[in-house]
Structure 1
Amino acid sequence: MEKVKNMDKGWKVRFPTKNIYVMRDHNWAFSAWEIGRLNKEIKSGAKLLHVDFHDDYLAPSSEKNISDIHSKEKALQVGAELDIFDFIIPAEETGTVKEVYMIGDFEKPSNEVYHAYTYNHFMDEHRKEFVKDDEHHSYILDLDLDFFNLHAYKNISNNWGSNPYLYSEEFIRNQLNKLKNNLVEWDLITVSISPEHCGGNEPAQELFDIFLDVFELKDEEFVNWG
């Protein structure tokens, strides 16, 4: 698989047997969700768990044409026009995502989302609502690897692409295993590598390798998706 240092902005791969979509930059998550709906991997009105050091819950500018997505080509076109911080609201507008849950160390962005600062906070406050009527909903896990870099948000101008402060590998593996196994059976998983927010290519590669190991993807075949 391509090393992080060699990934361009449009790099993205899919592990078909597990419905896992991985991308360098997070705006492509919108495209993955729409393609997943078109491929019937998920149903419209999915529940989304967004695990990130940023809420990414800004509305796209009015000139971005978010409309019904009826083809993979259209999904990729819209995804390319979005930014890394405004891809969730468009998925609500298309109806692909209905309920948004978030885990991350940031202020709650809107009354329309459920927010927890940590995994344990989420389990205490929102798990019951999240798994309620689970037979009627599809479930999406959306993970940004910068969730494990404590410098991803604080003093961002000094830490862009450098100065990482990662959690211990033991903690990272523990959190990934909980997200993988302890909530629901995920219908679709999207993962953003976000190397600049991880502190650079080297720490991003470290986090990516841990993710691939925990989610048992090291020996899985993958395909490019657009």
Structure 2
Amino acid sequence: MFEQDYRVCFPKERIYISRNHQWAFAAWAMGKSTGLLGEKTTLLHVDAHLDDTWDGVVVEGLHGMKGNSDYLDVAGKLEIDNFIWAGFAAQTIDYIVYVCPKHVDESDPFDLTGWNLEGEQLKPIREILKQREYKGSRYECVQHLREHLSASSDRINQVLNYPNSVILDLDLDVFKLNLSDPLNLELKPDDQIRDELSFLRDLYPYDMITVALSPAFCGGENNCERLYRLFLEGFELELSKAETW
């Protein structure tokens, strides 16, 4: 079902879905160019992985993009783990809220003290950071985010850096039960998945939603199809009304 270039969208709902996560970069760039996203944008990245590899900033064509064909061309050259830094370098996103389990990756995505920023290899990062700070926050899971927000009605605006535009960037692999064991294909219970999807859906009036299916990290095509069905159900979408993009 999910070919490598599988991409569909629901333009009215501003939801862009792809098999592989790097295509979210193209959706963000399109949103920025059309004015759907404002001057500053927060990315709410809900994923089993940080996807914060830095080398997306040096992908060919990133700094010469002029239209949709360029955005798609650059996205096609990115990988599934380096598109966030590419989006930051292209100024399509400005502030990142990671909802990613620390037992998969304990590193602090905002602590760059261990990076050799004076070296030649990371010169592109050094030049970017002269102009803009890579900043945001991190939560262990959807439940921890929910608990943090429940303490105060104003916290949602603080967390998402209001008045930024906000993108919900969801990878369905976050619903795999044991993220550390690729041989364990079990998913979270359907009721828990529905509850977390409902929470994310109602959390904020997002300016855009990007979704990665990531079957290889969900435990295979069957698991991915099940999660996709639950997502469509939870966000009240009919796949027959989707458009390719």
RMSD: 1.8
Higher radius of gyration, 1 or 2? 2
Following superposition, the deviation at residue 44 of structure 1 comes to 3.7
How has the CA–CA distance of structure 1 residues 61 and 179 changed in structure 2, closer, same or farther, with 3 Å as cutoff?
closer
SS in 2 for 1:67: helix
Deviation at 1:11, TM superposition (A): 1.0
Quick one: which of 118, 123, 139 aligns to 2:141?
Answer: 118
**Equivalent-residue separation in structure 2 for 1:216 and 1:117 (angstroms):** 27
Equivalent residue for 2:186, pick from 128, 140, 165? 165
Cα deviation for residue 223 of structure 1 reads 1.1
Q: Percent identity?
A: 30
> Match for 1:46 among 26, 41, 44?
41
Residues 1:218 and 2:238 are matched in the alignment: yes
Aligned to 2:75: 79
Aligned to 1:187: 207
> TM (normalized to structure 1)?
0.87
SS at match of 1:105: coil
Give unpaired runs (5+ residues) of structure 1.
1-5
* Matched residue, 1:3: none
Q: d(CA) in 2 for partners of 1:32 and 1:222?
A: 15
Q: What amino acid is the match of 1:133?
A: Y
Gaps of 5+ in 2: 112-134, 150-154
**Match runs of 1:33-182 below 5 Å:** 33-60=28-55, 64-65=59-60, 66-106=62-102, 107=106, 108-111=108-111, 112-123=135-146, 124=148, 127-134=156-163, 137-152=164-179, 154-156=180-182, 159=183, 163-181=184-202
Change in 2 beyond 3 A, CA 1:38/1:155: same
The amino acid across from 2:69 in the alignment is E
Give the TM-score normalised by the residue count of structure 2. 0.80
Alignment CA distance shift 1:139-1:81 (3 Å): same
Q: Within 1, Cα distance between the matches of 2:82 and 2:73?
A: 15
| Deviating more after overlay: 36-45 vs 77-86 | 36-45
Q: Deviations over 1:28-79 (max 9, x none)?
A: 0111111111222212421110000000011126752221532001100110
Deviations, residues 79-103 of structure 1 (Å, cap 9, x unaligned):
0000000000111111110100011
Q: Name the count of aligned residue pairs.
A: 211
